[in-house]
């Protein structure tokens, strides 16, 4: 937002406000970025060396051994694959199903629009809770199956409302003229609506994808099979297992037993695992970022 106060001479109040704002900005930047940076330098450091001397800004004895340990752990590699598979599938199915329903609901020709919307809205305020949901999954055979990652997240009412807010802004004349040209409903949806809706589809795709990638809960409570565990659930178990007492013991044994004073520790391997699990999100983030700011804002203003 340009308010043109740079054209006019800055008053002392302007200077104070600018200075304060920049200070706060730098504080936010450091507090947000440093822990992630710390994760990166620790993951590339030799575990034993990093434990012997606290690192702050640079890695010590730069090594890939932590990542090697991650790759050699077949459980972790398998969980990474499961995470990738469930995320990709959830995004494709979730976005198309949600957009499909949302488009139908925004059409004025649709009889019973109000009732359909009320059916959907009600579920945002009231639900059956975890136990009836668990029992339903049990009856549907979803417990301990890969489908439990995909089916229940096909439709999110919140994402649907975001989509609907966006679709309503698409000029009706575009749809009308396509109809005059003899295009069917599905052709209109695929050829006209979808290309115009990239920002919102990318936004809900990001939400669904990040939700699926980060979800530890579903597998922790609804899945027993080790082969179906996603990375986040494996990580969650790693973290809960390594509680304070255990870590203290490990610190004592590594410093005593390791004569050559190098090699990965469970902490450095954990940091490498964390980094591996953030990495895909980091890769997608810059590309989707420009869309979601727009997409979320549309939803926020409408809501």
- 257-276 binders of another protein (CB under 8 A): 267, 270-271, 274
DSSP state letter for 168: T
For residues 202 to 231, the per-residue mask of contacts with another protein, x marking binding by CB under 8 A and - elsewhere, is: ----x---x--xx-xx---x----------
| DSSP codes joined into one string, 250-287 | HHHHHHHH-SS--S--HHHHHHHHHHHHHHHHHHHHHH
- In 62-159, the DSSP E strands lie at none
Question: Is 149 an interacting residue with respect to another protein (CB under 8 A)?
Answer: no
* Residues in region 82-101 near another protein by CB under 8 A: 97-98, 100-101
Closest by CA position to 162, among listed 209, 229, 207: 207
Q: How far is the CB of 286 from another protein (least distance, A)?
A: 8
Query: Contact at 8 Å (CB) between 198 and 292?
Result: no
For residues 161 to 180, the per-residue mask of contacts with another protein, x marking binding by CB under 8 A and - elsewhere, is: --------------------
Which is closer to another protein, CB of 5 or CB of 68?
5
Query: Contact at 8 Å (CB) between 299 and 161?
Result: yes
Q: How far is the CB of 86 from another protein (least distance, A)?
A: 13
Q: Which stretch binds another protein (CB under 8 A): 63-71, 74-82, 146-154, 193-201?
A: 146-154
Q: Which stretch binds another protein (CB under 8 A): 61-69, 86-94, 197-205, 241-249?
A: 241-249
Q: Which stretch binds another protein (CB under 8 A): 26-34, 59-67, 73-81, 85-93?
A: 26-34
Burial profile 236-265: b = 16 or more Cβ within 10 angstroms, e = fewer:
beeeeeeeeeeeeeeeeebeeeeeeeebbb
Q: Which of 180, 248, 259, 283 binds another protein (CB under 8 A)?
A: 248
Question: Is 238 an interacting residue with respect to another protein (CB under 8 A)?
Answer: yes
Question: Is 37 an interacting residue with respect to another protein (CB under 8 A)?
Answer: no
Count other C-beta atoms under 10 Å from residue 28's C-beta: 10
Which is closer to another protein, CB of 178 or CB of 281?
281
Q: How far is the CB of 235 from another protein (least distance, A)?
A: 5
**Cα–Cα distance, 52 to 48 (Å, whole number):** 6
Q: How far is the CB of 260 from another protein (least distance, A)?
A: 21
Q: What angle do CA 80, 35, 290 make, to 5 degrees?
A: 70
Q: How far is the CB of 294 from another protein (least distance, A)?
A: 10
* Residues in region 112-131 near another protein by CB under 8 A: 116, 119-120, 123, 125-131
**Cα–Cα distance, 223 to 235 (Å, whole number):** 15
The values of phi and psi at residue 39, to 5°, are -60, -45
Q: Which of 173, 240, 253, 260 binds another protein (CB under 8 A)?
A: 240
């Amino acid at each position: 937002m340009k308010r043109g106060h740079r054209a006019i001479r800055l008053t002392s109040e302007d200077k104070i406000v600018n200075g304060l704002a920049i200070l706060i900005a730098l504080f936010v930047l450091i507090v947000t970025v440093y822990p992630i940076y710390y994760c990166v330098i620790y993951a590339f450091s030799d575990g034993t060396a990093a434990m012997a001397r606290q690192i702050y800004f640079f890695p010590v004895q730069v090594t890939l051994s932590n990542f090697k340990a991650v790759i050699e752990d077949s459980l972790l590699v398998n969980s990474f694959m499961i995470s990738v598979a469930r995320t990709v599938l959830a995004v494709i199915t979730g976005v198309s199903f949600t957009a499909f329903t949302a488009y139908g609901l925004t059409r004025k020709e649709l009889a019973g629009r109000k009732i359909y919307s009320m059916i959907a809205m009600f579920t945002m305020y009231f639900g059956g809770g975890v136990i009836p949901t668990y029992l339903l999954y049990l009856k549907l055979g979803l417990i301990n199956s890969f489908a439990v990652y995909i089916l229940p997240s096909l439709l999110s009412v919140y994402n649907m409302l975001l989509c609907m807010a966006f679709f309503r802004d698409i000029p009706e004349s575009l749809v009308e003229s396509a109809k005059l040209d003899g295009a069917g409903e599905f052709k209109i949806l695929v050829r006209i609506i979808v290309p115009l809706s990239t920002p919102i589809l990318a936004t809900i795709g990001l939400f669904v994808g990040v939700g699926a990638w980060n979800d530890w809960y579903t597998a922790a409570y609804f899945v027993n099979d080790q082969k179906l565990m996603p990375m986040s659930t494996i990580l969650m178990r790693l973290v809960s297992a390594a509680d304070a007492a255990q870590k203290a013991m490990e610190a004592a044994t590594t410093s005593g037993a390791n004569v050559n004073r190098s090699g990965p520790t469970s902490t450095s391997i954990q940091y490498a695992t964390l980094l591996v699990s953030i990495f895909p999100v980091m890769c997608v983030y810059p590309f989707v970022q420009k869309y979601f700011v727009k997409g979320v804002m549309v939803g926020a203003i409408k809501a």
